[in-house]
Amino acid sequence: MHTLPRGLWDTTVSFTAEMTNIENGLEWVIKAPMGLVQTSFWRIVPAEERDKVEEPATELVIVEDVEIKASRLLVGTVKGKCESNYKGIHAKFLAHLKELEA
């Protein structure tokens, strides 16, 4: 993580991830060094339930709600990583769902 002060966090970070099925999706809890805990809820909901519509509405959409608990030093970096990676992760998740449907 090159955005943190030198030596504070190596470029390789090990973490644990716990994934649990929930009624309409997945709960994903990540625990990393320095007290970082990130909880994500990935849900599949009807398009009309989504607050923000950036692309044309479809029957179902993937919604990711994320809560990050960490020191102020880490929150900005972790949030930035989440925002830059979510489109690729969502695309892979959607591709997998389409494979299951076929």
pLDDT computed for residue 87 by the predictor: 81
**pTM of the model as a whole:** 0.67
The alpha carbon of residue 19 and the mean position of all alpha carbons in its chain are separated, in whole angstroms, by: 12
Q: How many CB atoms lie within 10 A of CB 36?
A: 19
Confidence band, pLDDT 50/70/90 cuts, at residue 90: confident
State the number of CA atoms in the 13 A half-sphere of 15 facing the CB: 18
SS3 state of residue 4:
coil
What mean pLDDT is predicted for residues 72-93?
84
Confidence band, pLDDT 50/70/90 cuts, at residue 45: confident
How far is residue 23 from each of residues 20, 26, 43, 72, measured CA to CA in Å? 10, 8, 9, 33
Measured distance CA(11)–CA(67) in Å, rounded: 23
Confidence band, pLDDT 50/70/90 cuts, at residue 10: low
